[in-house]
Structure 1
């Protein structure tokens, strides 16, 4: 069975333009990407100000982008983070949620994701409260697929340190109570997993009572540390055999949309080629398609500086990178120069407040 591939625009930091989103959808659709979830952390009307209506101009842009996805045969969805609404799901919250769901339906969304991540979770009856909200939403949304991101979406103990210790049997309770038609996001053994194995996913499938929908945090580079690196290498540590244990595989892209397309194309290649997949060969082919022959060669030469050494340690290498890309009229080159200029830097404050 073919593994559904998708994009989750779920990063912190500087949001993409609508043109950048449209270009990425058009490119990835040709390589089998079938769904796009709009959920940037910088959109306040999906997070901190979720209970406020969208301004008219932004609503029109969302509507136009939804049409663009449909034209390219890509399911369009939205990820809503009703921030800590489970602490007081009162009449005002229900009314605001009713109005927001109606707006989403007016866009013709295919997928609705309710995202309970990035908020406190150390509440004993957390699962029961979230299940109440999800049951209420299911009866009021016209989306054909409902996706849920649990507050604890990985085995990674960093979630317990940041958001409080996870309640006992939290995931089992969600998995037992949610209908089979509802998908659950999972990032793997870590928030940013180096490897995702079939054995791990089989255990998670048993825990959640369904195949997880993988939220793959590569090539995302948000955060104060990661924003100093460009994640360009091809996907590794994800053998095509994991597809048997997944409801779908969605990647959280980098802050640089066109550069994100390079690893995204290699993921599609890894599923297509199976055991024949070779990651550097896949990188070269993807880089040529996205950036052209000359830039692809330069990107391979500069991989270590861009991805491993990073912005803070470039030293004299920065001058070479500016020579390589500064005079090239291409989106890939412009993104690298903007990265060198610090345009994509993310502060700890941005992560805390978006």
Structure 2
């Protein structure tokens, strides 16, 4: 049983939103793993952010209604988020009406739980005044939706939504102080931790923000998010959060990788953490997650993937805070290989080790290519190919065997490609 009352997923990233079919698969997994909440907040849904004043056109409204019904059928709380902060003028009566009418419009589509997002917008000169305006807007929404008293969740994402954005600090922020003093107790406040992407969230840091906000925060967790750096994905476990944290928060919501099919390790591990006993560890949790994920790779009778093969892939594409243990070893081997002090015999052994790693990566790739899960293939393919290609470049450079000239690689055209080659010459 989960130790946190609200546990789930945020579709809150920048980039192409998930499709209804993808969300349906996600809802089934969430229900199976014990999650209970889905927060709908894709930045590139135009009616969520850019066109926040406008009602959804008929086709989009019906799609949203269907999504709400699908979530409810899976036992999930569907939370609709609106992000008006880019150009909301709270002094304008028209904007006040538009805000209320938009939430009522969505409520009529079957939504029972709501969120108001003021993240990633300009700061006002008077941050305390900005907070008070947001408090007023939040209460206006509450009173519009529930004139007889609050009957669902209402989540608020503040403009200072993490420690590094609190000025001058969390404990002394006029903005957070005004927010905590002004907001009604029924409003949950979203918080990403010390940073936008927090590799660690300590008990002390959460206690500090809880005190100034006068309530337990709800964690909007960007640990597995990759919309800010799409050349990488995060396949590691839920980590960097002590078990004691569960008793200090109102909930845990993960804003994960844009690529839906790559989120099994992180999301399963999150649910594992939420119900974990005192001996819970991220490493053991990752193995449990990979065991759940492994059948998706073994749909072909010809190409078979082992748990250790999948563990290697996860370690190579781990977390923002660092590499997994097997990837650390690969990096150590690569560094030794390019070290001019490394002898010829040792160099040959290092090349053999890198060839083995590359072969295992290719094994996973071939298994996906032979299987029916094309979404998983397409989501993971670029990252496996990238790793295999870089390993091959090292192997060619060290052994002088191969068709590619490691110094030229003339098919590489972009600036990013060229930046990645810097530093490899010895």
Q: What's 1:188 paired with?
A: 193
Q: What's 2:140 paired with?
A: 136
Distance 2:41 2:257 in 1: 13
Q: Which runs of 5+ in 2 are unaligned?
A: 299-304, 335-353, 387-426
Q: Which runs of 5+ in 1 are unaligned?
A: 162-166, 343-354
Output the TM-score relative to the length of structure 2.
0.72
Q: What displacement does 1:339 show?
A: 5.6
Secondary structure (helix, strand or coil) at the match of 2:53 reads coil
Q: CA RMSD in A?
A: 2.7
Secondary structure (helix, strand or coil) at the match of 1:97 reads helix
Q: What's 1:122 paired with?
A: 124
How many positions carry a matched residue from both structures? 331
Secondary structure (helix, strand or coil) at the match of 1:183 reads strand
Q: What's 1:232 paired with?
A: 235
Q: What's 2:221 paired with?
A: 216
The range that moved more, 70-79 or 314-323, is: 314-323
Give a deviation string over 1:284-329, Cα, whole Å, max 9, x none: 22122234174563321223433458xxx99995983643533332
State which of 265, 273, 277 in structure 1 corresponds to 2:276.
273
Distance 1:254 1:132 in 2: 33
Q: What's 1:2 paired with?
A: 3
Q: What's 2:314 paired with?
A: 303
Secondary structure (helix, strand or coil) at the match of 2:75 reads coil
Q: Tell me: CA distance 1:89–1:323, structure 2 relative to 1, closer, same or farther (3 Å).
A: farther
Distance 1:148 1:77 in 2: 11
Distance 2:161 2:91 in 1: 22
Q: Tell me: CA distance 1:196–1:111, structure 2 relative to 1, closer, same or farther (3 Å).
A: same
Matched, 1:147 2:152: no
Q: What's 2:79 paired with?
A: 77
Distance 1:196 1:168 in 2: 19
State which of 49, 52, 62 in structure 2 corresponds to 1:50.
52
Q: What displacement does 1:132 show?
A: 1.9
Paired residues of 2:114 and 2:155 also in contact (CA < 8 A) = yes
Paired residues of 1:6 and 1:34 also in contact (CA < 8 A) = yes
Give a deviation string over 1:95-140, Cα, whole Å, max 9, x none: 3223211111112223211000010013312112212211211111
Q: What displacement does 1:261 show?
A: 2.4
Instruction: State the structure with more CA Rg.
Output: 2
Q: What displacement does 1:27 show?
A: 0.7
Give a deviation string over 1:58-83, Cα, whole Å, max 9, x none: 11111111111111111011111013
Q: Tell me: CA distance 1:134–1:296, structure 2 relative to 1, closer, same or farther (3 Å).
A: farther
Distance 2:230 2:94 in 1: 38
Distance 1:302 1:287 in 2: 10
Q: Tell me: CA distance 1:324–1:305, structure 2 relative to 1, closer, same or farther (3 Å).
A: farther
Q: Tell me: CA distance 1:88–1:341, structure 2 relative to 1, closer, same or farther (3 Å).
A: farther
Paired residues of 1:15 and 1:40 also in contact (CA < 8 A) = yes
Paired residues of 2:236 and 2:317 also in contact (CA < 8 A) = no
